[in-house]
Amino acid sequence: MAASKDRENFVYIAKLAEQAERYEEMVESMKNVANLDVELTVEERKKGVAILDFILRLGAITSALGAAATMATSDETLPFFTQFFQFEASYDSFSTFQFFVIAMAFVGGYLVLSLPFSIVTIIRPHAAGPRLFLIILDTVFLTLATSSAAAATAIVYLAHNGNQDSNWLAICNQFGDFCQEISGAVVASFVAVVLFVLLIVMCAVALRNH
- pLDDT at residue 209, as a whole number: 64
Residues 118-122: contacts with CB within 8 Å, 24+ apart? 118/50, 118/53, 118/54, 118/57, 119/54, 121/46, 121/50, 121/53, 121/206, 122/18, 122/23, 122/26, 122/47, 122/50, 122/51, 122/54
Q: What is the pLDDT of residues 54-76, one digit of tens each?
A: 999 999 999 999 999 998 888 76
DSSP annotation of 163? B
The most confident of 11-15, 41-45, 178-182, 193-197, by mean pLDDT: 193-197
Higher pLDDT among residues 63 and 171, named by residue: 63
Distances in whole angstroms, Cα of residue 40 to Cα of each of 48, 157, 201: 10, 48, 21
Residue 82 pLDDT > 90:
no
Structure-model confidence comparison of residues 43 and 107, the more confident one: 107
Residue 1 has pLDDT above 50, yes or no: no
157 compared with 167, residue with greater pLDDT: 157
| Whether the predicted pLDDT of 95 surpasses 80 | yes
pLDDT interval class at 123 (50, 70, 90): confident
pTM over 0.75: no
Average pLDDT over residues 121-130: 82
Can you state the angle between helices 42-72 and 95-123, rounded to 10 degrees?
Answer: 160
Which pLDDT value is given to residue 196? Answer: 94
**Mean of per-residue pLDDT scores for the chain:** 81
pLDDT at site 37 = 58
Q: What local confidence, expressed as pLDDT, does residue 79 receive?
A: 62
> pLDDT digit string (tens) for 129-166?
888 899 999 999 999 999 999 999 998 888 878 777 66
pLDDT-derived band at 7, boundaries 50, 70, 90: low
Of 9-13, 102-106, 126-130, 175-179, give the lowest mean pLDDT range. 9-13
